[in-house]
């Protein structure tokens, strides 16, 4: 099937069953994307002609209204015939310079019972430019991938920092906790994804409006990169950071955030726990609900949110209902690896 882009002369072919995003990337097109699993909405495009299907059902990252308006998610959509779509290609050179590089795990530091900070050293002759908020893929045997956000800021090029949460039984993360991974070698590919910080000046806004940063668990990693970038830039922006976790022991970046509060006078911080002990005197409940309790109307805010798919799905739905602008809602959903997700969906469909 042939897929043509309305705004350019470019087109690509998509095999039956292949996602449109995968087909476009294989054909060398740079299209915005992040989670690749239908949650974040970053790969939205408008379908102008033809028909698509969603083999795993309507994706979470697209509201029924958006579907009625002809929007589709390229990471989930499969072509049923030749298509014409309207989508912008990314043209900034820093967004498209994706590199595959070997690296060494220089240090590994336990940040919490199930979170490890990995510090990766790249070959000294290599540069690795990225935008604060982007992620990289660790390449496993047979080309399988595991995605992790870059927690360090672009100006600190000495070591790349990752915050890795242990997934019980996880092929990649579990083994990092079983034996000391220091000095181990990895192959990484990046930078990837469209989740990144957008300065108000990019939109031509003269005023620097307020921003909400919402992190769930290791969803704090890309937020840390953005915050440290803004501190380096001496940004004057008013930022409210909400960090959601289950219990006190899961607030793995609490002490670190308290330290950076001193360097960022216009940053405020609220940790929010959903399963806190009785001793906890701070906020309780779901992190996105705490944001809405403080800011019931979200017009005028830029929102950056990262975390597990369920949190991102609920946040997207509720924030839009409270006036958030879809163009100012920047979401990063920490999904399973695509091949793991496909396996789970196949298992579920054979059982039903
Ligand atoms: C864009 C992006 C950025 C990400 N950034 C980070 C990050 O900075 N830090 C971080 O800790 N994680 C991050 N993730 C999630 C991370 O990629 C997965 O947790 C990782 O792929 C798990 O790999 P694994 O080999 O250990 O587990 P796998 O072998 O892939 O999975 C084993 C089993 O664990 C379960 N599982 C897999 N992934 C998850 C998950 N995410 N949550 C819950 N259960 C799961 C499934 O049941 C699966 O069958 C990100 C994901 C995406 C898409
Ligand atoms: S990349 Fe398609 S919804 Fe996230």
Q: Using alpha carbons, list the distances in angstroms from residue 229 to 52, 121, 156, 233, 281.
A: 40, 20, 9, 6, 31
| Total residue length of the chain | 352
Which tokens in the block code for residue 24? 């476009």
Q: What pLDDT does 301 receive?
A: 96
User: Measured from the CB, is residue 150 less than 6 Å from ligand 1?
Assistant: no
Q: What pLDDT does 73 receive?
A: 95
Ligand 2 site residues, Cβ closer than 6 angstroms? 33-36, 38-43, 61, 73, 75
Which tokens in the block code for residue 13? 């072919």
Best-predicted range by mean pLDDT (37-51, 57-71, 77-91, 277-291)? 277-291
- How far apart (Å, rounded) are the C-alpha atoms in residues 26 and 50? 21
Same fold, 2-86 and 96-192: no
At 232, is the pLDDT very low, low, confident or very high (cuts 50, 70, 90)? confident
As beta bridge partners, residue 79 has 52
Q: What secondary structure letter does DSSP report for 31? A: B
Non-local CB neighbours of 320 within 8 Å, separated by 6+ positions: 63, 326, 329
Summarised one tens digit per residue, pLDDT across range 13-56 is 999 999 999 898 878 787 877 778 888 887 889 999 999 999 98
- Is pLDDT larger for residue 233 or for residue 269? 269
Summarised one tens digit per residue, pLDDT across range 214-230 is 999 999 999 999 999 99
- How far apart (Å, rounded) are the C-alpha atoms in residues 173 and 318? 32
pTM for the whole structure: 0.82
CATH 3.40.50.80 fits 208-333, yes or no: yes
Non-local CB neighbours of 76 within 8 Å, separated by 6+ positions: 19, 37, 38, 54, 55, 56, 59
Across the chain, which distance is largest between two alpha carbons, in Å? 62
95-104, 183-192, 333-342: least confidently modelled range? 333-342
pLDDT higher than 70, residue 352: no
pLDDT > 70 in the chain, percent: 96
pLDDT higher than 50, residue 148: yes
pLDDT higher than 60, residue 185: yes
Number of Cα atoms under 13 Å in the Cβ half of residue 158: 4
Classify burial at 180, counting beta carbons within 10 Å of its beta carbon; exposed 0-12, middle 13-18, buried 19 or more: exposed
For the CA of 37, the closest atom of ligand 1 is 53
Q: What pLDDT does 46 receive?
A: 95
Dihedral angle computed from the Cα positions of residues 47, 50, 54 and 55, in that order, rounded to the nearest 10 degrees? -160
User: Measured from the CB, is residue 166 less than 6 Å from ligand 1?
Assistant: no
Q: What is the mean pLDDT of the chain?
A: 90
pLDDT higher than 70, residue 92: no
Cross-sheet strand order for the sheet of 135-139: 145-149, 135-139, 185-192, 99-112, 115-121, 160-165
Q: What pLDDT does 282 receive?
A: 96
Q: What pLDDT does 207 receive?
A: 76
Domain positions in the chain are 2-86, 96-192, 208-333
At 93, is the pLDDT very low, low, confident or very high (cuts 50, 70, 90)? very low
pLDDT higher than 90, residue 113: yes
Between 220-232 and 254-261, two packed helices, what is the crossing angle to 10 degrees?
Answer: 20
- DSSP, collapsed to helix, strand or coil, labels residue 73 as strand
For the CA of 38, the closest atom of ligand 2 is 3
31-40, 90-99, 278-287: least confidently modelled range? 90-99
User: Measured from the CB, is residue 170 less than 6 Å from ligand 1?
Assistant: yes
- How far apart (Å, rounded) are the C-alpha atoms in residues 74 and 20? 5
* CATH class entry, domain 2-86: alpha beta
- Is pLDDT larger for residue 342 or for residue 107? 107
Q: How far is the CA of 151 from the centre of ligand 1 (A)?
A: 16
Q: Whose CA is nearest to atom 51 of ligand 1?
A: 334
Q: Whose CA is nearest to atom 3 of ligand 2?
A: 38
| Ligand lying nearest the CA atom of residue 170 | 1
For the CA of 169, the closest atom of ligand 1 is 32
pLDDT higher than 70, residue 130: yes
Q: What is the mean pLDDT of residues 83-102?
A: 77
pLDDT higher than 80, residue 157: no
At 280, is the pLDDT very low, low, confident or very high (cuts 50, 70, 90)? very high
- How far apart (Å, rounded) are the C-alpha atoms in residues 229 and 6? 36
- How far apart (Å, rounded) are the C-alpha atoms in residues 33 and 17? 19
* CATH class entry, domain 96-192: mainly beta
Contact of 270 with 241, CB cutoff 8 Å: yes
Q: What secondary structure letter does DSSP report for 89? A: B
């Amino acid at each position: 099937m042939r897929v043509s882009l309305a705004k350019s002369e470019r087109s690509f072919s998509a095999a039956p069953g292949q996602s449109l995003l995968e087909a476009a990337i294989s054909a060398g097109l740079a299209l915005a994307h992040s989670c690749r699993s239908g949650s974040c909405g970053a790969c939205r495009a408008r379908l102008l002609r033809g028909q698509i299907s969603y083999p795993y059902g309507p994706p979470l990252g697209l509201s029924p209204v958006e579907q009625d308006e002809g929007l589709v998610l390229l990471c989930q959509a499969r072509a049923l015939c030749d298509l014409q779509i309207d989508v912008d290609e990314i043209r900034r050179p820093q967004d498209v310079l994706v590199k595959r590089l070997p690296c060494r795990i220089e240090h590994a530091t336990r940040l919490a019972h199930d979170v490890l900070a990995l510090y990766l050293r790249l070959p000294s002759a290599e540069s690795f430019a990225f935008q604060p908020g982007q992620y990289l893929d660790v390449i496993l045997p047979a080309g399988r991938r595991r995605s992790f956000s870059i927690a360090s800021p672009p100006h600190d090029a000495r070591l790349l920092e990752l915050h890795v949460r242990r997934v019980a039984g996880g092929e990649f993360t579990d083994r990092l906790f079983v034996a000391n991974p220091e000095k181990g070698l990895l192959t990484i590919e990046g930078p990837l994804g469209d989740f990144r910080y957008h300065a108000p000046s990019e939109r031509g806004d003269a005023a620097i409006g307020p921003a909400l940063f919402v992190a769930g668990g290791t969803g704090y990693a890309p937020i840390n990169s953005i915050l440290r970038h803004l501190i380096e830039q001496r940004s004057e922006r008013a930022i409210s950071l909400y960090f959601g976790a289950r219990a006190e022991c899961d607030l793995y970046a609490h002490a670190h955030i308290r330290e950076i509060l001193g360097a960022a006078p216009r940053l405020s911080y609220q940790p929010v726990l959903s399963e806190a002990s009785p001793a906890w005197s701070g906020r309780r409940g779901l992190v996105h609900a705490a944001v809405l309790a403080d800011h019931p109307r979200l017009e005028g805010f830029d929102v950056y949110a990262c975390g597990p798919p369920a949190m991102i799905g609920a946040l997207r739905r509720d924030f839009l209902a409270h006036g958030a602008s879809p163009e100012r809602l920047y979401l990063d959903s920490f999904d399973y690896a695509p091949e793991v997700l496909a396996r789970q969906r196949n298992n579920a469909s054979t059982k039903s």
